[in-house]
Chain A
């Protein structure tokens, strides 16, 4: 009876959710989004569905099956080890607050709750497996790929659950997260050291590849030998069993591989069901936190969904008197400082290193040239992606539009205040990069002389134009946010899936086109002034004058854009959006 009720709930939840998504296609914004999203998915993934191997499939499934089995087993082993290291919370099962309210006090056994949780997770696992199969990500046939992925993902899901129970048991016995991690790491290091010792003593050195030889085949043989000799095959055995159906080349191989994989899955199932660990309290707490986040987003207070961890420092002293829009800039700089965390710097460093490697491999004309090219790449990246990454403007504050609209400020003042912070931060970063580029730039570029005057001229022109470009870019993105607030406003509670992908595609295309159009007049102004003045003055002055002309043209366009954005904000009626969304 209980099982039927839980199944009824799950079935109708999914059915109603899908019905609601289909029904809202009546609204053009969702319909266009869905059409664009479907076109995108068709173009990139499904177009070649029946046309042989795609590049992804070739990359991941083109090698020797035995070697691949070893490699996949190694990946699964690494994943499992990381799971044990990174688990840090008590065992929780993801329930909604309504489910907690209905199911926890109901006469439902622990096993039934676990079964319900496992059943519910199957929907996501089946969808993910289906997507992987569509992507031709492994598997010789579509159905083999789908079922193979399902077996792997379902077992890994059980493993996460089981390991979280085990971690909870350790915590209940007084073994802290830090201690468990140290022990896990020590075991891994010891195993790794043992493996290294064995490799050193009994493993042949990698073969030398002669010019003209098939290096890939030789490498594949070597890897195959490595994963199938010594202690590794024993360690990888269960993981090989798990990945075997997925790697089957035909139905016969799949059926033959099935018992081993299902045995691993069954053992995991028994582990989860037999673990006598209380998950209820932690689950209730997790459900409450999730409900608070969702409620905060639904009420428009999206910021409460991701509360700041520590107070940001004021960038400058804000007096009570003065231009009020500066208050918005001040606020957004503080918000941005919260975003610029260690993770941000790690990402930036990673980008720099990757870009450096790319350029070093392609340019052989010295480190200075490579470094200058790399800085140029970063500058380009900052222009193209900076406004998407720095969203401390209307895109962040739109759900708090009620508050902004109650302020005694003209629309253009609010618009200006909102875009000032990301524009200033981006410009500061770009100016730093420009200084670096000026310092690094050699006097010769690809056999062309680059005199100091030209270099400084380029620097001055870029330094003049970049703030206006950032400003224009941010105005476009913020105007888009005001034009179609529902595509931004609803945040994590907004449309997901194909409609959202399509909406984002339409936005990116529209914004890129708008920026290109905005840059036409400034580019012409720059070219005309630079060319005409370079006949009379040196490159430094000519480039600087060209930059000034472009700045004036782009500045004028940006001012018009700001007025437009301000009047759009004044006319913005979010209650209509909310009304139509209900």
Chain B
């Protein structure tokens, strides 16, 4: 009797969200949101303005507490073991948050101490080279362009080699070369096994870099799955690309006819 081959083991999710709800008084910003992201997956979080994308990201990064539900990062519950969970994640807000009085190098030294990166000097060199800001080490953020600031924030975020990465509108302010490098950087980190969640309105970007997509509307999940699954779900309605899927899923009125 032939023994059937073993199915490849499914890796445990690095991001696990169970019934996440965020309330502001009587207003529900995010409602009963559940999903999981496994190593190597890149999930795009899309939705119209006010859908709850940024609130979701801030809850997942441990910046604001959820009203209900649980978030696990690499198996650590964000409310029970926040330090262990945060040590494994990096969050990039849409506006780079930098300290105006610290130079580029001082930002890296500061971040290294916060995350306990003993060999930060060895790590920061290649990172700064990759992001093309190695010659700006002694510059203050006020002396950098918007794109350079974004790159510095990225360098700080990647310094501790996070396993989970949250990006909120990551391409804002980047030039075409910066955009390409950012995409490559996302691919590389996903290939190395990071779980990445990107919130963006740039649907063509998500279509290029994401393996999965999650569509939110008024704080509720409309659909999630691989890009192919989501496309198939709306294929009967004639949806060919993510933009079309988005319009059909959210019921917006700009769908092609």
Interface size range of chain A in the complex: 35 or more
Q: Are A408 and B115 in contact (CB under 8 A)?
A: yes
Q: Which residues of B contact A257 (CB under 8 A)?
A: none
Q: Which residues of B contact A314 (CB under 8 A)?
A: 106, 109
Q: Which residues of B contact A327 (CB under 8 A)?
A: 109-110, 113-114
Interface status of B126 (Cβ within 8 A of chain A):
no
Q: Which residues of A contact B121 (CB under 8 A)?
A: 320
Interface status of B200 (Cβ within 8 A of chain A):
no
Q: Are A322 and B113 in contact (CB under 8 A)?
A: yes
- Give the contact stretch, choosing among B7-15, B97-105, B230-238: B97-105
Q: Mask for A248-278, Cβ within 8 A of B = 1, else 0?
A: 0000000000000000000000000000000
Q: Are A321 and B118 in contact (CB under 8 A)?
A: yes
Interface size range of chain B in the complex: 35 or more
Interface residues of B in 103-140 (CB under 8 A from A): 103, 106, 109-110, 112-121, 138-140
Max chain B C-beta neighbours (<10 A), residue from A308, A320, A338, A403 = A320
Task: Name the one of B24, B116, B119 contacting A324, with C-beta atoms under 8 angstroms.
Answer: B116
Q: Are A324 and B114 in contact (CB under 8 A)?
A: yes
* Minimum Cβ distance to chain A for residue B159 (Å): 9
Q: Are B62 and A406 in contact (CB under 8 A)?
A: yes
Q: Are A318 and B109 in contact (CB under 8 A)?
A: yes
Q: Are B114 and A402 in contact (CB under 8 A)?
A: no
Interface status of A62 (Cβ within 8 A of chain B):
no
* Minimum Cβ distance to chain B for residue A306 (Å): 7
Q: Are A307 and B100 in contact (CB under 8 A)?
A: yes
Task: Name the one of A299, A306, A311 contacting B140, with C-beta atoms under 8 angstroms.
Answer: A311
Task: Name the one of A301, A307, A310, A322 contacting B97, with C-beta atoms under 8 angstroms.
Answer: A301
Smallest CB gap from A326: residue in B: B113
Interface status of B183 (Cβ within 8 A of chain A):
no
Please measure, in the bound complex, the distance between the C-alpha atom of A226 and the C-alpha atom of B65, giving whole angstroms: 72
Q: Are A306 and B116 in contact (CB under 8 A)?
A: no
Q: Are B113 and A334 in contact (CB under 8 A)?
A: no
Smallest CB gap from A330: residue in B: B110
Task: Name the one of B55, B82, B112 contacting A575, with C-beta atoms under 8 angstroms.
Answer: B55
Q: Which residues of B contact A405 (CB under 8 A)?
A: 62-64
* Minimum Cβ distance to chain A for residue B219 (Å): 13
Smallest CB gap from A295: residue in B: B95
Task: Name the one of A299, A308, A324, A400 contacting B113, with C-beta atoms under 8 angstroms.
Answer: A324
Q: Are A402 and B113 in contact (CB under 8 A)?
A: no
Q: Which residues of B contact A408 (CB under 8 A)?
A: 82-87, 114-115
* Minimum Cβ distance to chain A for residue B119 (Å): 7
Q: Are A311 and B103 in contact (CB under 8 A)?
A: yes
Interface status of B225 (Cβ within 8 A of chain A):
no
Max chain B C-beta neighbours (<10 A), residue from A311, A324, A407, A576 = A311
Q: Which residues of B contact A571 (CB under 8 A)?
A: 65
Interface status of A281 (Cβ within 8 A of chain B):
no
Interface status of B93 (Cβ within 8 A of chain A):
yes
Interface residues of A in 280-309 (CB under 8 A from B): 299-301, 303-304, 306-308
Max chain B C-beta neighbours (<10 A), residue from A308, A310, A326 = A308
Q: Are A320 and B112 in contact (CB under 8 A)?
A: yes
Interface status of A331 (Cβ within 8 A of chain B):
yes
CB contact under 8 A between A308 and B97, given known A320-B119, A574-B64, A575-B58: no
Q: Mask for A324-339, Cβ within 8 A of B = 1, else 0?
A: 1011001100110010
Smallest CB gap from B109: residue in A: A318
Interface status of A312 (Cβ within 8 A of chain B):
yes
Please measure, in the bound complex, the distance between the C-alpha atom of A408 and the C-alpha atom of B106, giving whole angstroms: 19
Task: Name the one of B58, B82, B87, B102 contacting A331, with C-beta atoms under 8 angstroms.
Answer: B102
Q: Which residues of A contact B65 (CB under 8 A)?
A: 571, 573
* Minimum Cβ distance to chain A for residue B188 (Å): 22
Q: Which residues of B contact A579 (CB under 8 A)?
A: 24-25, 27
Please measure, in the bound complex, the distance between the C-alpha atom of A320 and the C-alpha atom of B159, giving whole angstroms: 11
* Minimum Cβ distance to chain B for residue A539 (Å): 44
Q: A residues near B, CB below 8 A?
A: 299-301, 303-304, 306-308, 310-312, 314, 318-322, 324, 326-327, 330-331, 334-335, 338, 400-403, 405-410, 570-571, 573-576, 579-580
Q: What are 27 A-to-B residue pairs whose CB atoms are below 8 Å? A: A300-B97, A303-B100, A307-B140, A310-B140, A311-B138, A311-B139, A318-B112, A318-B113, A320-B116, A320-B117, A320-B118, A321-B113, A321-B116, A324-B115, A326-B113, A327-B110, A330-B113, A331-B102, A331-B106, A335-B101, A402-B58, A402-B63, A402-B93, A402-B97, A403-B97, A406-B91, A576-B24
Q: Lowest 3 A-B CB distances belong to which pairs?
A: A307-B142, A327-B113, A408-B86
